[in-house]
């Protein structure tokens, strides 16, 4: 009953053979269109987690049901040829059918452990094609309690083109049976999850099969408010908004952290107000990050000025904001070219007090002077030192063809920035004396927070 008005029966289907022959969706008590009472309600349970009807006075509400059941249209494609097993051919045929019917998200609460003699390239190619065509594929990480050790160990969950979900318990600890590792993306509740069963019943099940549809529901709600996002952007937002519950940063047991649906939906539904920051530009997510964090605002309400060079005054304000925005009283007479009522006066005083950005030898601060790439990295390096961060480095920038152009005062900072991945090179060069644009500044700040990298 919870799914009667949620599942689109006209689109739903059962894959009957490896050629992709389709029949009507009949339910848990059927195998390949033939009655069989051995069904274990796995599919019904997954469907309820995603979109069981909300506010109908009975049972449960699906994670993606929202208040009015408007976010998700559920299409069910039965790809199991037996109660607990199937083949890659059935899965691939089912996914292709879902694509043809316009699916935006595909939930795969299934998987197979990779063995040395297994050829799963056709499955990987199918998942890659779906990703490229704009479909997010969410996968259960598997239930062997094993680490992937950074290799493809369980497919399709471990492909770069899919979203892999670890199961955690009510204490936000990885469940003992859940697979984990560095190929996984985030985690979600997957232990003793109450959902729908066949014959109108309810019950609990556990496993990554239950954690996966929680993330699937989140992805569906994200698409419902912003259908223009790509699967890679959906994955990035899911990971960046996840709550860090394990070791600091990405870790093997909980990946990027625990799914935070509200944060993910809000982030994707808040468009940037700047007409000069186009979706699809290399710096779009970087600008979004600094804007939403309150680190950088626009030149006005409508312009960000991504190509404009950062001034020393702007840099001082940025440093003060990433330092927590602590107001510092203007030191009268500190710099003759900084007026007490200037928007950056407090920030200049803050930088002076922390020792992260000081004036010139002639006594000026030079608020309008443009900052170079090496200068910006240097003040960021000084900020990190002032905050007590470990800014050690190993390899540094020595492999770049213009490494000799780096000024002596910036050497340690540039070595650290290259090692930390804050600067990866622009067209193969460091370009230390080139002015740093506001877009480049936003990219470095996002990277320093652990965000995804783009070439700089």
Burial class (CB in 10 A: 0-12, 13-18, 19+), 175: buried
Q: How confident is the model at residue 450 (pLDDT cuts 50, 70, 90)?
A: low
E-assigned strand segments in 76-161: 77-78, 105-108, 112-113, 136-140, 154-155
Q: Across residues 136-141, what is the average pLDDT?
A: 98
Task: For the beta carbon of residue 356, count every other beta carbon within 10 angstroms.
Answer: 23
What is the Cα–Cα distance from 224 to 221, expressed in whole angstroms?
5
pLDDT per position as a tens digit, 43-76:
999 999 999 999 999 999 999 998 889 899 999 9
Which of 210, 182, 225 lies closest to 107, judged by CA?
Answer: 210
Helix locations, 226-368, DSSP H: 231-240, 261-269, 284-292, 312-322, 345-354
Residue 452 has pLDDT above 50, yes or no: no
| In the chain, % of residues over pLDDT 90 | 79
Q: Is residue 157 within 8 Å of 209, Cβ to Cβ?
A: no
Q: How confident is the model at residue 271 (pLDDT cuts 50, 70, 90)?
A: confident
pLDDT value of position 169? 97
What is the Cα–Cα distance from 142 to 408, expressed in whole angstroms?
52
Q: Is residue 14 within 8 Å of 82, Cβ to Cβ?
A: no
Categorise residue 366: left if φ over 0, alpha if ψ from -120 to 50, beta otherwise: left
Number of helices (H) and strands (E) in the chain: give both, helices first: 12, 13
What kind and span of H or E run contains 46?
A: helix 42-51
- Tokens 């996968």 correspond to 139
What is the Cα–Cα distance from 77 to 105, expressed in whole angstroms?
13
Strands 202-205 and 193-196: antiparallel
Helix locations, 133-281, DSSP H: 208-225, 231-240, 261-269
Q: Is residue 365 within 8 Å of 337, Cβ to Cβ?
A: yes
pLDDT per position as a tens digit, 293-345:
899 999 998 899 999 999 999 999 999 999 887 777 777 778 999 998 899 99
pLDDT value of position 360? 92
Q: Is residue 352 within 8 Å of 382, Cβ to Cβ?
A: no
pLDDT value of position 41? 95
Q: Which residue has the higher pLDDT, 174 or 387?
A: 174
Residue 224 has pLDDT above 50, yes or no: yes
Task: For the beta carbon of residue 247, count every other beta carbon within 10 angstroms.
Answer: 10
Which of 82, 78, 230 lies closest to 161, judged by CA?
Answer: 230
What kind and span of H or E run contains 13?
A: strand 13-15
Residue 79 has pLDDT above 60, yes or no: yes
pLDDT value of position 270? 67
Phi and psi, residue 134, nearest 5°: 95, 20
What is the Cα–Cα distance from 178 to 336, expressed in whole angstroms?
63
Helix locations, 68-207, DSSP H: 88-100, 121-132
pLDDT value of position 454? 39
Handedness of CA 170, 173, 177, 182 (dihedral sign): positive
């Amino acid at each position: 009953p919870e799914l009667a008005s949620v599942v689109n029966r006209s689109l739903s289907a059962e894959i009957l053979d490896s050629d992709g022959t389709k029949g009507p969706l009949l339910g848990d008590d059927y195998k390949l269109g033939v009655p069989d009472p051995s069904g274990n309600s796995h599919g019904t349970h997954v469907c309820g987690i995603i979109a069981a009807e909300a506010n109908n006075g009975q049972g449960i509400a699906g994670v993606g049901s929202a208040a009015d059941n408007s976010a998700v249209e559920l299409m069910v494609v039965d790809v199991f040829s037996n109660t607990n097993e199937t083949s890659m051919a059935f899965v691939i045929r089912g996914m292709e059918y879902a694509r043809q019917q316009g699916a935006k998200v595909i939930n795969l609460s299934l998987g197979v452990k990779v063995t040395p003699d297994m050829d799963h390239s056709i499955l990987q190619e199918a998942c890659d094609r779906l990703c490229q065509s704009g479909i997010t594929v969410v996968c259960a990480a598997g239930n062997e309690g094993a680490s992937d050790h950074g290799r493809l160990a369980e497919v399709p969950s471990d492909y770069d083109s899919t979203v892999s979900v670890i199961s955690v318990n009510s204490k936000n600890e990885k469940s003992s049976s859940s697979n984990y590792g560095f190929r996984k993306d985030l985690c979600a509740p997957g232990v003793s999850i109450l959902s729908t069963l066949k014959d109108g019943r309810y019950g609990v099940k556990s496993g990554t099969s239950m954690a996966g549809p929680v993330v699937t529901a989140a992805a569906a709600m994200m698409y419902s408010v912003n259908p223009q996002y790509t699967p890679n952007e959906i994955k990035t937002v899911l990971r960046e908004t996840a709550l860090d519950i394990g070791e600091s940063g990405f870790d093997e047991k909980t990946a990027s952290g625990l799914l935070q649906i509200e944060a993910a939906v809000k982030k994707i539904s808040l468009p940037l107000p700047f007409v000069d920051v186009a979706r699809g530009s290399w710096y779009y997510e970087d600008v979004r990050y600094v804007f939403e964090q309150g680190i950088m605002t626009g030149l006005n309400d409508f312009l960000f000025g991504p190509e404009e060079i950062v001034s020393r005054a702007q840099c001082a304000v940025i440093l003060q904001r990433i330092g927590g925005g602590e107001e510092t009283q203007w030191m009268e007479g500190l710099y003759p070219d900084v007026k007490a009522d200037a928007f950056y006066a407090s920030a200049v005083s803050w930088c002076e007090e922390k020792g992260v950005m000081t004036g010139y030898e002639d006594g000026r601060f030079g608020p309008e002077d443009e900052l170079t790439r090496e200068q910006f990295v240097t003040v960021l390096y000084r900020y990190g030192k002032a905050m007590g961060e470990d800014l050690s480095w190993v390899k540094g920038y020595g492999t770049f063809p213009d490494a000799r152009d780096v000024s002596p005062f910036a050497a340690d900072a540039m070595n650290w920035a290259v090692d930390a991945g804050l600067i990866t090179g622009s067209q193969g060069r460091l370009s230390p004396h080139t002015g740093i644009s506001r877009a480049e500044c936003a990219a470095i700040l996002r990277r320093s927070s652990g965000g995804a990298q783009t070439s700089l």
